[in-house]
A = this chain, B = another copy of it.
Amino acid sequence: MTAPATLTEIWRGDILESIHTGHVVISDHKGQILESWGNPDHITYPRSSCKMIQALPLVESGAADAYGLTPEHLALACASHQGAFIHTDRVGKWLSALDLGESDLRCGPQEPNDLPARNALIKTDDSPCQFHNNCSGKHSGFLTWNKHMGHGADYHDPTHPLQIAIKEAFEDTTGETSPGYGIDGCSAPNYATSVAGLARAMGFFAGASENGSAREKAAVRLRQAMALHPDLVAGETRACTELMRATDGKVSIKTGADGVFIAIIPEKKIGVALKISDGATRASECTVAAILVKLGVLDPNHPATKKRLNAPILNWNKVNCGTIKAADSLK
């Protein structure tokens, strides 16, 4: 077993205050590892980083076209959004068009991370609803598939035909038999894989052709939808949104809870997956930025990059107290 590699360092003054280790794999579109740090075989949950895989059945089944879903809908299906009005309004309209509503969702209510949306709820003594859940777009995609296929209401149950279809897509694109699933924050099953398997799946998305199989065509539409609507995939101030904008649509990236990040780079036909051992977001964001810079698809001097890679640690007085740095091995 290969130990996790040092990926991110937190410096305060002249002293290394904290350190983050983990596993990174860069894969080509055939599933070959091009470069790795730590242990490529490390098993982890992709969490929300694999939403584009979970959306494959939606597109492949014909459900997306049957209900006229646009790239905006597909971007939301792949999103961990922050419950801003641009997200919740679209989710509400989407479900209405399916003759469904908030109560058909199974993701649970979540306080929005978007500050204007959060503050609007507080000012009116209102409670967050399931539309605000960061996964409500994914679940709207699930409901669209389910409407099209005519299965039972509990689409999040691991034995539901939708989740079985997702498992098939997951194991096909990762190229591995999953060792099992956990229940995610939104109550959907989340299948585990190796970091190499997750990178392999992203390599598949990167290399997929518009002239390829139904799965490849679906992958192209999903990766393009993400790159076209970075604001719908996460939201203002968020890493996914800001870093995708910074790459001018060349890269589709997605975070997952507990320190996961993936990147899909079609122009190079490569995929990236990383897991921070301790689950820290500051480290997953710094590391994915470092990898994208290393691969030449992200400007190290772009403000979105500098906010995460070699980023200043500012205190309550905006005094610069330290730096979030990528480990030397990532340069």
User: Is the C-beta of A43 less than 8 angstroms from some C-beta in chain B?
Assistant: yes
Give the most central of A20, A122, A186, A259: most B CB within 10 Å: A122
- Whether A317 contacts B187 in the complex (CB less than 8 A), given A278-B283, A280-B280, comes out as yes
Question: Please, how many angstroms separate the alpha-carbon atoms of A10 and B322 in the complex?
Answer: 28
Q: Which of B15, B43, B122, B278 contacts A18 (CB 8 A)?
A: B278
Query: Which residues on the B side are within 8 Å of A187 (C-beta)?
Result: 315-317, 319
A18 proximity list for chain B (CB < 8 A): 258-259, 276-279
Cβ–Cβ < 8 Å partners of A319 in chain B: 183, 187
Q: Which residues 1-18 of A sit at the B interface, judged by CB distance below 8 A?
A: 10, 12-15, 17-18
Q: Scan A165-191; emit 1 where CB is below 8 A from any B CB, else 0.
A: 000000000000001111111110010
- By a CB distance below 8 angstroms, the chain B residues around A122 are 119, 122-123
A81 to chain B: closest CB distance in Å? 14
Taking the closest CB of chain B, its distance from the CB of A311, in whole angstroms, is 15
Q: Are B133 and A258 in contact (CB under 8 A)?
A: no
On whether the beta carbons of B108 and A182 are closer than 8 Å, the reply is: no
- Give the total of A residues in contact with B, Cβ under 8 Å: 48
What 0/1 pattern do residues 35 to 63 of A give for CB contact below 8 A with B? 00000000111000000000000000000
Of the residues B181, B185, B276, contact of A315 by C-beta under 8 Å: B185
Whether A180 touches B15, Cβ cut-off 8 Å, given contacts A10-B258, A122-B119, A280-B279, is yes
Q: Does A92 contact B (CB under 8 A)?
A: no
A317 to B124, CA, bound (A): 23
In contact, B107 and A316 (Cβ under 8 angstroms): yes
Closest to A259 in B: B18
The answer to whether A110 has its CB under 8 Å from any CB of chain B is yes
- Which chain B residues lie closer than 8 Å to A123 at the CB level? 122-123
**8 Å CB interface, A41-95 against B:** 43-45
Contact A182 B278 (CB under 8 A): no
**Residue of B at shortest CB range from A280?**
B278
Q: Verify if A138 is at the interface (C-beta below 8 Å from B).
A: no
With both chains docked as a complex, state the minimum distance between the C-beta of A319 and any C-beta of chain B, in angstroms.
6
Instruction: Supply 27 A–B pairs (Cβ within 8 Å), ascending by A.
Output: A10-B279, A12-B183, A12-B190, A13-B180, A14-B182, A15-B44, A15-B45, A15-B182, A18-B276, A18-B277, A19-B278, A107-B317, A108-B315, A108-B317, A119-B122, A122-B122, A133-B316, A183-B315, A183-B319, A183-B321, A184-B315, A185-B315, A187-B315, A187-B319, A277-B278, A278-B280, A279-B280
Give chain A's interface residues, CB within 8 Å of chain B: 10, 12-15, 17-21, 43-45, 106-110, 119, 122-123, 133, 179-187, 190, 192, 258-259, 276-280, 283, 315-319, 321-322
